Structure 1
Amino acid sequence: MVISSNSCLGFICLLLCHWIRMASSLNLEDPNVCSHWESYSVTVQESYPHPFDQIYYTSCTDILNWFKCTRHRISYRTAYRHGEKTMYRRKSQCCPGFYESREMCVPHCADKCVHGRCIAPNTCQCEPGWGGTNCSSACDGDHWGPHCSSRCQCKNGALCNPITGACHCAAGFRGWRCEERCEQGTYGNDCHQRCQCQNGATCDHVTGECRCPPGYTGAFCEDLCPPGKHGPQCEQRCPCQNGGVCHHVTGECSCPSGWLGTVCGQPCPEGRFGKNCSQECQCHNGGTCDAATGQCHCSPGYTGERCQDECPVGTYGVLCAETCRCVNGGKCYHVSGSCLCEAGFSGDRCEARLCPEGLYGIRCDKRCPCHVDNTLSCHPMSGECACKPGWSGLYCNETCSPGFYGEACQQICSCQNGADCDSVTGKCVCAPGFKGIDCSIPCPLGTYGINCSSVCSCKNDAVCSPVDGSCTCNAGWHGVDCSISCPSGTWGFGCNLTCQCLNGGACNTLDGTCTCAPGWRGEKCEFPCQDGTYGLNCAERCDCSHADGCHPTTGHCRCLPGWSECPAGTYGYGCRQICDCLNNSTCDHITGTCYCSPGWKGARCDQAGVIIVGNLNSLSRTSTALPADSYQIGAIAGIIILVLVVLFLLALFIIYRHKQKGKESSMPAVTYTPAMRVMNADYAISETLPHGSGGNANSHYFTNPSYHTLAQCAASPHVNNRDRIAKSKNNQLFVNLKNVNPGKRGPVVDYTGTLPADWKHGGYLNELGKSPVP
């Protein structure tokens, strides 16, 4: 297939045009260009820690592997991977109702404008003589209406609507027939545009163009004429000279300081300066005045704002910039710099001695008294000694005083912190603890001594003296290097304070606070643990029931009487009391009451009695033996009553379990009599026990004061089974309290709870297990 060269050229041009069109971008200054943000993704490389298993060997007790074992550990190294990152960029496009044409956004009209052009989205601007939304209605310019029969009345080039006859005024005109020009300050179509002209400029009623007054320029007449121009339209040139500025309107010259004349061509006369040469010069000693600023230009040898001062000693000439070269005390003339020598010297610089070295006087017949090694020269006339740097005194035989150095010892040393100064050079020799050119830098931490060359040996964060390295110990330490902790019983800085801890408490060597031994508390460990706690910081809780607290150190329980089985022959609190019963009798482990063996009676079972025969094996306590019949009848009645009470209590227990809620019940109380046959009228209602103790068939209350204790304490095989229980109609139990003072009866204690700490003093049991109530 053969392709002609023209075809190839056309194809290439087509591709080039397309590329140019694609590569072209919209003009962002076009008001019809809108923009938005779009997202896109890019691939990035990111790092992350990559774990790997590392094998190493370590020593162990494996003799088969030559005491080496393999170990594993996880290590990490940096690895890289690819990731996606979202980026944003601004994209420009034509606003709605516009479409792109080359670099511009042009409006779009859905209904094509037949005789006109699209000036806004779906808005046509018709050509003269046409009307309608798409400029398709035709009339000539002077007629309108049906059949174009009406003549238009529009003026000043206005167009007539071919349908309604309304005038469409040309730019710059207004009115029903467009007969009036736009008011001052407005212009354009329908006079809707506001003029932007400044500085009194007028505005063209058609285009809005500004007509500037003389002296102004710019699109809105906002600028003055440029330098060198003035007048109407800034076309006239300024004649001003020497930096004079002309007025932008009139062209009149305004002269700078130091100049006069119409065109600023005349300098100020001598002795005058300033604006219009109105000020008088104030310069002295032949100084001249700057015509513009009035600043004085001094003659050689003088200085100062008004040239009123001679040059300082040692300088001369213009601006006193030259340095005098006179030696041996010669004086320098401030104008020319010539030397005026002292007696005994001559030469241009006064450098020549009239007397030989080492001699002085009018005839040079005297020897200089100066110390030769420390002297620069001896005055040829007076014999006065000129000392070398670092020496002073009448004969140059004295060193500089402390703090001074150099020629004639006139220079002051800059050394600090007690450093010595070299009398010749002024170099500082630092004292221990400092360094630097002027010895102003303290030794760094951890160093001390001359030039900070020694290393501190202080321990436990002690402060080291930069001078001699001595240690200042922190609280709790002492010793040369602060390595020794405070001895027991001391604390603080230097271990000079005495611990105040009591009862074996340990003292903190830093602040003296006490760490109490187990069983103690308080700032000084002066208080034992509170009831119910024990151990270190009294943080442990006692776990005792029926005990008088626990040991504050070990936590061992201190049982109440009756809650520990005492050894035979002992009774009471802590089983500390010795039974006093005779004839092989036993005693109650709570009260110590004697239980006599058969055939004995009395408080100590030391009286012979009657032996009881029968199936009752109960022992007499403190009363005499009763006849066998009385015991048998009483036993039978007691058993019957006991069975009834057990059944009653069992029913209460079932009801209690059924309701699942604790209720208070009446506590049965009994009284002991020898026969227990009759319940007389001396009975009184017993006190109701607290909730939690009632309902137990084994609970008893005795009239004997020594039996006022918990029910379970009385559940002993030593209790006489001849006790009887009486029950009233309302199911309340009664006891014979005739011989007991109602106001002194102790309260009944709930056997399920822990006794309070003051049970000994609150009407419960005393140390011997007896009631404190008489």
Structure 2
Amino acid sequence: MFQLEKLCFGVGLILTFVFFVETQLCTERQTFMRWVPETYIRSYKETYQGNCWYRCTKTRWRSYIDQRMVPKHVVENKDVCCAGYMEDDTSLQLKCNPICRPTCKNGYCKSPSQCACNEGYEIDQDNPHNCLPICHKSCGHGTCIRPDVCDCNFGYTFTNSTCQAICTEACVNGTCVAPDTCECFNGYRKTESNLCLPYCSNGCPHGTCVAPENCTCNDGWYKDSSDDCVPRCDISCGGGYCIAPNVCECDTGYEKTHNGTCIPTCTKECLHGICAAPENCVCDDRWHKNETGDCVPICDIDCGVGGTCVEPDVCECETGYGKNLNGTCVPQCSNGCPNGTCVSPEVCECNEGWNKTHLGICEPYCNSGCVFGTCIEPDVCRCHIGYKINMDNMNDSLCIPECKNCSGICVAPENCIDISATTTEVAFTECNDSSCIDKKDSTISMTETSDYVKTSDEKAEVTVSTIDEARHINNDAIYQKQSIWSNYWIYIAVTAVAVTLLAFILLIVKRKAVARMCHGGSYIIEGERENEACHSIQRDMSYLKMMHKERN
């Protein structure tokens, strides 16, 4: 008897088997950590009112059943993909896909490591994981890249399901038989650019062969009598000839200008002039050639040693030089060079009678030396105060000391010495303008000065043969004057001491006399009594003196 339940059960088993076979699902036991509910007894302490003879409180323990979640390891069966398959992440349910390594190109993975090609492709015999496209018509000069689609080689294009040659330029007067390759008709020849052009036997220089053996000249060219194309220049080439339309070729010694004509050239630039012919410069007005052939300016004025003529009648001065009123460069000195001439920058040359100091200043010079004076002009001496010009020796212009009413020898201003003295200790004073420095010299004898001192009955005068001798005599006289004053000070000091002692003695004698009159020869009075008694007695003595005078 047919049993429907058994039939359904069998069909289900078959479908389950087919499903698991197709998807390649496998089951494995896995351990998981899960939170599960757990029942337990929970206790607590309770307080209540007990039965006592008086109010009392008692405690007791109570328990009840409670539930809590606890972690627990659970072992479960889980469906996973079998070996050779991998889980499909895009599916919400577990789905396993076969794995092919390497991946299938232009196809899909039918089973582990087995590829199936898409429609219009076939398996590559050399690579089972690659599917090649199928082109029913041969591509020729190309490769089948998709079903019935060719990828043509360079220079070919896919036309009418095949690859045909391409010519960039149309094959005029010919046929395209290969990429950019034309096969020319009769009477035409192929050029390097693969063009079919008409052929002319002479080549048509500077022209175009427009038909076999027929030339036309280019723009700027024209045919001469021999039917050749020659250039045309609208400008004159000057020192050259026309080699192309409006293009000149210059001869030797000429160069081309911006407008294309040829002008002469000079190796050295013609500054301030023009190059009139090859290597021949003609200078501008007010300029002339020097020995090197350069054009230099003409200056009617002399620029001087420190100047250079840079333009006609214009001088440029060097450092340390300046222009004077007529434009000539002359040396300059910052101090103006008084009493001299500036001969070069910061260098003065003194006038006659003037000498240069270490500071470069010109000072007057006196041949006599101008002792005890100041040289204010060449050979003009101005004596210091206390000195006068030696009138007996005008050539030397020496200054000698001046003494009033001197019957001896004037050795220093207002310092006269007696010629009768045998020896005198003198000192000299060296003066320079308003400052003097005292110096001590050795003692000399007046008898040793006979070589340079002359005496007379009325007046003694000093004649100096040399500058050193004059200075020696004046310094000795000054020292003598100082020695005399030093002796006077000794006498004055002794006199002052003697007067002081005498006054002191008189004061003591007077006090003793007063004491004897007051106390009969007693000198000791104590305390205030002594002062009062002495004052009283002095007043009495003064009064008695006055009375005595009146009586007389």
TM-score bucket (shorter structure): under 0.3
TM normalised by structure 2 equals: 0.22
* Greater length-normalized contact order (CA 8 Å, ≥ 6 residues apart): 2
TM normalised by structure 1 equals: 0.17
Task: Specify which structure has the higher proportion of helix.
Answer: 2
Q: Which structure is larger by alpha-carbon Rg, 1 or 2?
A: 2
Task: Specify which structure has the higher proportion of strand.
Answer: 2
